[in-house]
């Protein structure tokens, strides 16, 4: 590291290159951060000895007693983390209350929304939370969806309900455009149509009609405000222009590795109109089973899809081609719910972008384009339980992940890890009720990399080599010569 800083000072290394090299190393050095604990249970009296005992045993702390099903982090200051429980409760956490990133600290919710009990003053959800997300342009507003078939808009500061939408169908997830001037929210529900909710008018204004079973995921283009991709239970990923009434514009085809007649165009790259695209195969499928995860890269060049066939595919949006990126059989994806994963920003680090994938009880860092495993983060104290049929069930299975970058520019649990070129923390929610933190391991001033070994005293090296040679000869016995 010292050698790179010297190269930067004398002008041999640009600021951008130094930033990318450092970010690459930090991305590969993430590890559990058990010093950050989230305790959402009722606070006991300060003099209670059990409180002190629990504080020393982080595995006993629970953010939500019934399990944590979703997370969202506001992207402006990266200060407020919102968590949703399997019981329908919502809690807000102030991440800035921690005195230092590597100091032991127990977070407690600064406010909460209780589960609805059906009373006239109860505004919370009556069933488990399925998805949480902050509004892209305002950190004082976030959205929540639930198995109670509603989508709700909340004021962050007051944790007060601003609007409620009854969709008459289980809402698996929702998404809003990161660039659009419109206030449309796309909802993936148990019905085959993609539901669009207008926050401005307060109504479900449109349905994108499809016939492929439940919609499990949706994602908006980061470059074209009217373009939307949706993943369906029939294995198809459909691309829509919400301004058109003529149905889907295209379908991603796993058998097409060249692009539809080499003429599939994407407005973000070529400036051409989506309407000029050729016809596509009606039977084209992105996956052999349901598509439950979709993300765009931040530059709009690729779409990443995940399916219950345990495959992750990367699609070139310039041609519509399946890039044939292979992630092997290591991927675990077997739950019929929206999959939560992250993609690192383009240009953040050297080489390819990374896919951050929650793989049941571990987090995988995967190269986005060749599928190789860059790192594996395993939950500490992984445990399993056995149900009445004898099958294994992960008690601390990861349900959602959120990203927080360091310094200015904060990412959220959305399509990409946005913000500046700095590495902060990953937060994961688990079925056992815990929220866990993951942080990069920072080298201390006494640590040296291989480049710094150039200045080691040659005399010390010579003595070490001589000691090794003497030890080797003593083990081999008396030297024998032939004359």
Percent of the chain with pLDDT over 90: 50
* Residue 227 three-state SS: strand
**% helix, strand, coil for the chain, step of 5:** 15, 35, 50
Strand, coil or helix: what is 426?
Answer: strand
Top pLDDT among 379 and 310 is at 310
CA distance 241 to 265: 14
Distances from the Cα of 436 to the Cαs of 16, 103, 302, 403, in angstroms?
31, 15, 30, 12
* pLDDT value at 327 more than 90: yes
User: Which residue pairs from 108-114 have beta carbons closer than 8 angstroms and sit at least 24 positions apart in sequence?
Assistant: 108/39, 108/40, 108/43, 109/40, 111/159, 112/40, 112/159, 113/89, 113/154, 113/159, 114/89
265, two tokens: 């165009």
pLDDT single digits (tens) 416-438:
344 333 568 999 999 999 999 99
DSSP calls for 14-52: -HHHHHHHHHHHHHTTEEE-TTEEE--SPPPPTT-HHHH
pLDDT at 448 exceeding the cut of 70: no
Where is pLDDT greater, at 24 or 147? 147
pLDDT of residue 384: 44
Neighbour tally for 269: CB within 10 Å? 15
Q: In the numeric block, which tokens belong to residue 340?
A: 């939560």
| Most confident residue range from 24-33, 70-79, 114-123, 464-473 | 70-79
Delimit the domains of the chain by residue range.
23-476
Among 175-189, 254-268, 319-333, which is the least confidently predicted range?
A: 254-268
CA distance 291 to 233: 6
Strand (E) or helix (H) holding 7: helix 2-10
- Model confidence pLDDT, tens digit, residues 389-410: 334 456 789 999 999 876 533 3
User: What's the Cα-to-Cα distance from 289 to each of 155, 229, 249, 251, rounded to whole Å?
Assistant: 38, 17, 21, 15
What would the pLDDT profile of 270-316 be if each residue is shown by its tens digit?
444 545 554 678 889 999 999 999 999 999 999 999 999 999 999 99
pLDDT at 362 over 70: yes
How many CA atoms does the CB half-sphere of 260 hold within 13 Å? Answer: 21
> Cα dist. 166→73, 139, 209 in Å?
25, 24, 19
Please write down the long-range contacts of 57-65, taking CB distance under 8 Å and 24 or more positions apart: 58/34, 59/381, 59/434, 61/37, 61/106, 61/434, 62/432, 62/433, 62/434, 63/38, 63/39, 63/91, 63/429, 63/433, 63/434, 63/435, 64/40, 64/89, 64/91, 64/433, 65/40, 65/41, 65/433
pLDDT at 162: 93
**Cβ(349)–Cβ(410) under 8 Å?**
no
Taking 90 as the threshold, does the pLDDT of residue 86 lie above it? yes
When pLDDT is averaged across residues 169-198 and rounded to a whole number, the result is 93
Phi-psi region of 310 (alpha: psi -120 to 50; beta: other; left: phi over 0): left
Q: What is the CA radius of gyration of the chain?
A: 25
Q: List, in sequence order, the alpha helices (H) in 343-481.
A: 458-476
Region 233-242 average pLDDT: 94
**Lowest-confidence pick of 85-89, 109-113, 401-405:** 401-405
Q: Which tokens hold the place of 301?
A: 């060049």
Kindly state the helix (H) or strand (E) to which residue 268 belongs, with its residue range.
helix 267-270
C-beta of residue 360 within 8 angstroms of C-beta of residue 396: no
For strands 362-367 and 354-359, give the pairing.
antiparallel
- The DSSP bridge pattern shows strands 398-404 and 227-232 to be unpaired
Return the SS3 of 230: strand
pLDDT of residue 261: 45
How far does Cα 171 stand from its chain's mean position? 19
Residue 354: name the closest of 340, 339, 374, 331 by CA.
374
pLDDT of residue 444: 53
Tens digit of each residue's pLDDT (9 = 90 or more) over 192-225: 999 999 988 877 667 898 888 899 999 999 999 9
Please report the DSSP string for 394-405 in residue order: ETT-EEEEEEE-
Task: Assign a CATH topology to domain 23-476.
Answer: Methylamine Dehydrogenase; Chain H (2.130.10)
Question: H or E stretch including 173?
Answer: strand 171-176
Please give the Cα distance from 108 to 23 (Å, whole number).
30
CA–CA dist 250, 262 (Å, integer)? 14
Helix (H, G, I), strand (E, B) or coil at 441: coil
């Amino acid at each position: 590291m010292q050698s790179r800083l010297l190269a930067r000072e004398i002008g041999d290394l640009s600021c951008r290159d130094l930033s990318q090299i450092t970010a690459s190393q930090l991305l590969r050095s993430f590890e559990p951060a058990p010093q950050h604990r989230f305790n959402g249970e009722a606070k006991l009296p300060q003099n209670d000895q059990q409180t002190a005992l629990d504080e020393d045993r982080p595995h006993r702390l629970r953010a939500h007693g019934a399990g944590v099903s979703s997370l969202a982090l506001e992207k402006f200051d990266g200060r407020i983390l919102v968590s949703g429980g399997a019981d329908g409760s919502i809690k807000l956490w102030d991440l800035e209350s921690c005195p230092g990133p590597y100091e032991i600290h127990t977070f407690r919710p600064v406010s909460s929304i209780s589960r609805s009990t059906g009373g006239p003053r109860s505004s919370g959800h009556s069933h488990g939370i399925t998805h949480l997300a902050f509004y892209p342009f305002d950190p004082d507003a976030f959205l929540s969806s639930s198995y109670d078939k509603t989508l709700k808009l909340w004021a962050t500061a007051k944790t007060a309900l601003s609007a409620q939408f009854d969709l008459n169908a289980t809402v698996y997830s929702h998404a809003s455009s990161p660039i659009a001037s419109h206030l449309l929210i796309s909802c993936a529900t148990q019905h085959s149509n993609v539901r669009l909710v207008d926050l401005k008018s307060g109504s479900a204004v449109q349905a994108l009609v499809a016939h492929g079973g439940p919609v499990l995921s949706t994602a908006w283009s980061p470059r074209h405000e009217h373009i939307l991709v949706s993943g369906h239970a029939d294995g198809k990923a459909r691309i829509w222009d919400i301004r058109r009434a003529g149905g889907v514009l295209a379908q991603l085809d796993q058998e097409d590795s060249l692009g539809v007649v080499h003429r599939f165009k994407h407005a973000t790259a070529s400036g051409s109109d989506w309407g000029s695209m050729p016809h596509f195969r009606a039977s084209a499928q992105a996956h052999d089973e349901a598509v439950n995860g979709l993300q765009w890269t931040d530059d709009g060049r690729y779409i990443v899809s995940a399916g219950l066939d345990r495959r992750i595919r990367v699609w070139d949006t310039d041609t519509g081609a399946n890039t044939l990126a292979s992630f092997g059989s290591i991927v675990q994806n077997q739950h019929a719910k929206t999959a939560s994963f992250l993609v690192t920003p383009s240009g953040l680090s050297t080489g390819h972008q990374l896919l951050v994938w929650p793989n049941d009880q571990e987090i995988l860092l995967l190269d986005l384009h060749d599928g190789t495993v860059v790192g594996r983060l395993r939950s500490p104290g992984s445990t399993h339980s056995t149900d009445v049929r004898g099958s294994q069930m992960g008690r601390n299975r990861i349900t959602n992940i959120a990203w927080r970058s360091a310094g200015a520019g904060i990412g959220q649990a959305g399509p990409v890890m946005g913000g500046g070129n700095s590495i902060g923390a990953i937060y994961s929610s688990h079925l056992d009720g815990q929220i866990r933190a993951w942080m990069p391991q920072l080298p201390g001033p006494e640590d040296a990399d291989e480049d710094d070994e150039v200045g080691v005293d040659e005399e010390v090296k010579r003595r070490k080599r001589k000691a090794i040679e003497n030890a080797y000869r003593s083990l081999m016995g008396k030297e024998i010569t032939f004359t």
